Amino acid sequence: MAKIPSFIALCNTTLWLDSATNLAIVDLNTFFLPSMFLASIGLGLLIKFTVNSLRKQTSVSASFPLPPGPSPWPILGSIPDLLRNKPSYRWILGLMKEMNTEIACIRLGNVHVIPVTSPDLAREFLNKQDTVFASRPKTMATEYLSRGFLTAVVTPWGDQWKKMRRVVSSEMVSHVRLRWLLEKRNEEANNLVFYLHNQCNKNSLCGGQVFNLRLLTRQFSGNVIRKMIFNKRYFGKGREDGGPGTEEIEHVDSAFEVLSYVYAFGIQDYLPYLRWLDLDGHEKIVSRAMGVVNKYHDPIIEERIRQWTDGTMKNKVPEDLLDVLISLKDEHGKPLLSTEEIKAQAGELILATVDNPANAVEWAMAEMINQPDILRKAAEEIDLVVGKSRWVQESDFAKLNYVKACAREALRLHPLAPFNVPHVSISDTVVAGYFIPKGSHVLLSRTGLGQNPRIWHEPLKFNPERHLMSKDGSGVADVDLNEQELRFISFSTGRRGCVGSQLGTAITIMLLARLIQGFDWSAPPGESVIDLSESANDLLLAKPLFAHGKPRLDLHIYPVE
């Protein structure tokens, strides 16, 4: 059978996909479906597409054009092109570069996807018109993640989102709550240097040890948020040396696997009628990974709810965020949250916390090891502000501008995800003279913004100093990881902005500062530099960062347990 590029052919009872998509041929005889049924599906799709298109022809759309983009196929839109060009985000940004545009419109199925690489346009979407773009798309992966859209981050606009947003912002990540949980974060910061120092002592003849910093950064983030929510570091027996156990590694690895498929341009998210086929295999992967995450979360949550219900916890002060969620009451004195809502929100906060700090610090360390002067300046700043007789604390962060600039530069140059969480328009509108239909998915490109040569001088160079000058050029800036002007995206802004930016900042800066303060870092023996190659399929380092660490403080400073 001749290959037909950019086309999906329904032939008898077999669904053939262009071999360039790397998707397997699906034999529909397996499902015992007659060809007439498949034909009826195709006809139904065509009718629905036609009706929806007619409905969207408003007076606004007649007056303003859509943003530029490729000519879409009937029904499918640009899905065939998307499937033939992996990874999808590189194809999208490459297409925008070819068209010389900072905003585009790519129709996938019946959805208009609007990628943006301009800070000015980004502010138009998230600041000036944030009420219009305040919803989220319903996708397969976010349905699993949120247990049916019960949470604060990925749930579409509506009463459930408003309820959970209030819970998270006022009860979980408020300034008062984070101050209450400070000691738990400090325990994990101390455990980090305790573990690293233990490992160095095992190899004392060599004066240090080679560490997998991807594993370390991810596990530190996981430890912090597990301690804050469940008041525990380990799901299993744990380790006396402070390192992660097999359960913790499986937990965090599964969390990252789920995150890699959230808003991953899955076929089922644009042609939901084909979800049952799981053509790209995403649902099988997400279902398995969320099953692992829930395997560790659910027993703890269910047991704690039982304790609060049967009186075991009577008159007891909440000790962690799980206690807080369970103890919340409505105006009638009844539990505010259902068991499913508690499970969903606890899980979402964990997934939302482990990714950015770990990725930013891994990349920052890789870049700084390759530029020893930057690493030296960061260590000198810590020594000047904190000294060498105690460990850096969150109260020191305000004075660690250079360290914060290093983290900020890593967030700019090396974001974890190519796009921010999509914003869905709840009505037709016009942005920069372009018609944006209701239901459009607006994607702010993290790399497109952070590496925009119109905005940044030498955008591909890791240069923390660029963040130290005030905007008016009159003096030194008070460095903050937030970027309100959307020249890059760290925590986003607007109605759907990240309410956990203070927590994200605390985890990121503490992780980076403790690594720099406690140890001298270099490339592993036998290697002169760190390979900074980017992964072929995502924005991670192509290989996990391995680096040689050696204690740089007096022995008595390091924790002994």
CA–CA gap between residue 261 and residue 283 (Å, rounded): 9
CA–CA gap between residue 7 and residue 124 (Å, rounded): 36
For residue 127, how many other CB atoms are within 10 A of its CB? 14
Closest to 74 measured CA to CA, from 104, 96, 42, 99: 42
Q: Which residue reads 């929510």 in tokens?
A: 229
Does residue 87 have a cis bond before it (omega within 30 degrees)? yes
Beta bridge partners of 469: 476
- Token pair in block for residue 224: 């912090």
- Three-state SS for 499-548 is CCHHHHHHHHHHHHHHHHHHEEEECCCCCCCCCCCECCCCCCECCCCEEE
Q: Inter-axis angle of helices 372-385 and 401-413, to 10 degrees? A: 140
Pairing of strands 441-444, 111-116: parallel
Closest to 517 measured CA to CA, from 298, 262, 197: 197
Task: Decide: 342 and 326 in contact? Cβ < 8 Å.
Answer: yes
Task: Decide: 370 and 521 in contact? Cβ < 8 Å.
Answer: no
Q: Which residue reads 């927590």 in tokens?
A: 503
The pair phi, psi for residue 205, each rounded to 5°, is -65, -30
CA–CA gap between residue 511 and residue 522 (Å, rounded): 17
Collect contacts of 535-538 with beta carbons under 8 A, ≥24 apart. 536/87, 537/86, 537/87, 538/87, 538/260, 538/418
Residue 24: its H or E element:
none
Task: Decide: 237 and 245 in contact? Cβ < 8 Å.
Answer: yes
End-to-end CA distance of the chain: give it in Å, rounded.
67
CA–CA gap between residue 49 and residue 289 (Å, rounded): 34
498 has binding-site annotation: yes
- Token pair in block for residue 314: 């009577």
For the chain, how long is the longest CA-to-CA vector? 78
Residue 416: its H or E element:
none
Give, in degrees to the nearest 5, the angle at Cα 352 between 347 and 355.
120
The pair phi, psi for residue 549, each rounded to 5°, is -115, 140
The pair phi, psi for residue 443, each rounded to 5°, is -115, 110
Give, in degrees to the nearest 5, the angle at Cα 389 between 383 and 394.
65
Q: Inter-axis angle of helices 401-413 and 339-370, to 10 degrees? A: 100
Residue 211: its H or E element:
strand 209-212
Q: Which residues are annotated as a binding site?
A: 498
Q: Which residues are annotated as a binding site for heme?
A: 498
